[in-house]
Amino acid sequence: MAPSADSSTDDPGTVPRGIGALESCVLEAIDDAEALQLLRELIACPSENPPGNEGACARFLASFLERRGVTCRLVEVAPGRPNLYATVGTSGPTLVLCGHLDTVPAGGGWTVDPFSGTVTGGHVYGRGACDMKAGVAAMAAAMAAVKRSGILLRGSLALHAVIDEEVGSAGARKAAAEQPGDWVIVTEPSGGRVLVTGNGQLNFEIVFHGKAVHSSHPEDGRNAIHDAAGFICLVEEQARCLATAPCPGIGPATYSVGLVKGGRGGSTVADRCELTLDRRVLPSEGLDAAEAEVRRLLSRLETERPGLGWELTRTVAFPPLRGTNTGRLEQVLNDALVDLGRTVAEPSHGMRFATDAAWYEAAGGSAVVFGPGDVAIAHQSDEHVAIEELNTSTRVLALCCVRLLTL
Ligand SMILES: [Zn+2]
């Protein structure tokens, strides 16, 4: 028989304050060793993007959940690259837990094997340990505990393990369109804080066209590298202007030139220069308005440098996370943290980085970011996550499920 929703407990000495009987039933079904083993096995299953080989990881996670009685579906987003959808519960309101399966490439500089899942000093090491296989392990372990507890949900707990967040977010865009959910928790590394707002991200490829001539007569040609340099100066000037108007809890909108490529050699005037420009977009801004700002800078450069030739292509476009209708979800998560004896961060804390939460918010869900790990050590060599954070996140997600879907 499923336990009742009675909030009393006969054993207040072992159950944290504020935790009801139904909730303690789910917490007791959490298996920390299972979550740790899952994390290590996910790390041992490389899913670097590029190239985007998440298939084996998705199938492994599906088999983990299916062995625990959870219904799973693998749906290809691109050839050989499936999203995994898993569900526990019934029709009704839906809590979606979303995490991406892909990681950035391992790269060099590691002191341990990046796919070993080495455990030392209370931390697990490996590519994706923090960003974000710990988050994926936490949500799968929480779902396994809910299933194992046998509690009856008045709605459904859904897990979306998606592809491609590190490049184009094809996985979350598809998942959010198919099942936006009523509440969505993206378990990206948040240092255990509930983050409700975040910057969007635009990337552009900009090509400047010049005319190649012998460098002894540069006035006869057009130097595309010099044009690009003029543009970079305008970008820096605009960035200084943006820095004067920061968004509370996040900071200012920013610019960064990430790549410059052009020229043929010392004795030839450069006929082409490409650059990649990153613009972080505040929750108060729109993507189109931010692109218009870049185009204004190019128009200004045209005035300063008559005959300028350029092309601009938008290559990455994450909308900002505005924190729409997140009040109840934020409260439930923060209450769970308090009830588990953790401190709660200042309200309205936001992210400077873009996450898949934005796609769910854009699809009509209320979406926040909460998960184990510190984003400051993501994408680095010797990436790691604290096991204690994995365990706390698993408990918070499980409590959140009970409180949103049974009360
Ligand atoms: Zn991530």
Whether residue 382 lies in the annotated active site: no
Contact criterion met (CB below 8 Å) for 20 and 2: no
Contacts of 33 (CB under 8 A, 6+ apart): none
Residue in 23, 34, 131, 165 annotated catalytic:
165
- pLDDT over threshold 50, residue 46: yes
Judge whether 211 and 204 are in contact, CB under 8 Å: no
Closest CA to 337 of 368, 312, 309, 361: 368
Kindly report, as residue ranges, where domains of CATH 3.40.630.10 are found in the chain: 21-198+321-405
Q: Which of 17-26, 122-131, 186-195, 374-383 has the least mean pLDDT? A: 17-26
Number of Cβ within a 10 Å radius of residue 307: 10
pLDDT of the residue at 14? 47
Per-residue confidence (pLDDT) for residue 348, from 0 to 100? 55
CA 267 / ligand 1 centre spacing (Å)? 44
- Residue 13 reports pLDDT greater than 80: no
pLDDT the model gives residue 243: 97
Both tokens of residue 189? 């590394």
Strand partners, 278: 203, 256
pLDDT number for residue 106? 97
Tell me, yes or no, if 102 is annotated catalytic: yes
Average pLDDT over residues 257-278: 97
* pLDDT of 248: 87
Rounded to the nearest angstrom, the distance between the alpha carbon of 198 and the centre of ligand 1 is 13
Nearest CA to 104 out of 396, 353, 290, 364 is that of: 353
Q: How many alpha carbons fall within 13 Å on the CB side of residue 4?
A: 4
Q: Report the percentage of the chain scoring pLDDT > 90.
A: 88
**What does the pLDDT read at residue 304?**
97
As given in the structure block, the two tokens for residue 115 are 């796919």
| pLDDT computed for residue 344 by the predictor | 80
Cβ neighbour number for residue 323 with a 10 Å cutoff? 21
Which has the closest alpha carbon to 407: 338, 347, 336? 336
In sequence order, what are the residues at sequence separation of 6 or more whose Cβ sits closer than 8 angstroms to the Cβ of residue 395?
A: 27, 30, 142, 336, 340
Q: What was the pLDDT predicted at 18?
A: 75
For 66, 99, 181, 335, the CA distances from 61, given in Å and listed in that order, are 9, 12, 21, 29
The alpha carbon torsion through 31, 36, 39, 43 (nearest 10 deg) reads -160
Q: Determine contact, residues 333/195, Cβ cutoff 8 Å.
A: no
Q: Topology of 21-198+321-405 in CATH? A: Aminopeptidase (3.40.630)
Note the pLDDT of residue 2: 39
| Rounded Cα gap, residues 45 and 127, in angstroms | 10
CA dihedral 79, 82, 83, 88 (to 10 degrees): 150
Q: What are residue 291's DSSP bridge partners?
A: none
**Residue that has been written with the tokens 């693998």 in this structure:** 74
pLDDT tens profile 50-74 = 999 999 999 999 999 999 999 999 9
Mean pLDDT of the region 211-237: 97
Given 34, 48, 102, 383, which residue is catalytic?
102
Is the confidence at residue 16, as pLDDT, over 80? no
Q: Does residue 187 register a pLDDT over 70?
A: yes
294 CA distance to ligand 1 centroid (A)? 27
Q: What is the pLDDT of residue 357?
A: 96
CA of 50 to the centre of ligand 1 (A): 14
CA of 326 to the centre of ligand 1 (A): 21
Nearest to 136 by CA among 170, 107, 165: 165
Q: What is the pLDDT of residue 347?
A: 62
Domain span(s) for CATH 3.30.70.360 in the chain: 200-317
What is the CA(221)–ligand 1 centre distance, in A?
45
Measured in Å, residue 166 CA sits from the centre of ligand 1 at 7
> What's the rounded mean pLDDT across residues 211-232?
97
- What pLDDT band is residue 407 in, cutting at 50, 70 and 90? low
d(CA 129, CA 123): 9
Q: How far is the CA of 174 from the centre of ligand 1 (A)?
A: 17
Whether residue 148 contacts residue 68, with contact meaning beta carbons closer than 8 Å, is answered with yes
Whether the per-residue pLDDT at 10 is higher than 80: the answer is no
pLDDT over 80 at 9, yes or no: no
pLDDT at residue 263, rounded to an integer: 96
- Residue 78 CA to residue 94 CA, distance in Å, equals 26
How many whole angstroms from 96 Cα to the centroid of ligand 1? 17
The class level of CATH for 200-317 reads alpha beta
In degrees, to the nearest 5, what angle opens at C-alpha 158 toward C-alphas 339 and 99?
80
How far does the centroid of ligand 1 lie from the alpha carbon of residue 195, in Å?
14
Indicate if the pLDDT at residue 294 is higher than 70: yes
Instruction: For 336-375, write each residue's pLDDT tens digit.
Output: 999 999 888 766 578 998 999 999 999 998 999 999 999 8
Q: Round to whole Å and give the CA distance between 61 and 53.
A: 14
Asked whether residue 15 carries a pLDDT value surpassing 70, the answer given is no
d(CA 190, CA 349): 10
Q: How far apart are the CA of 165 and the centre of ligand 1, in A?
A: 7
pLDDT score for 350 = 85
Are the C-beta atoms of 383 and 111 separated by less than 8 Å?
Answer: no
**pLDDT over 60 (residue 27):** yes
Angle at 352 between CA 351 and CA 357, to 5 degrees: 55
Three-state DSSP state, 58: helix
- Between the CA of 102 and the centroid of ligand 1 the distance, in Å, is 8
Interval between CA 273 and ligand 1 midpoint (Å):
31
Contact predicate 311/379, CB 8 Å? no
Judge whether 95 and 157 are in contact, CB under 8 Å. yes
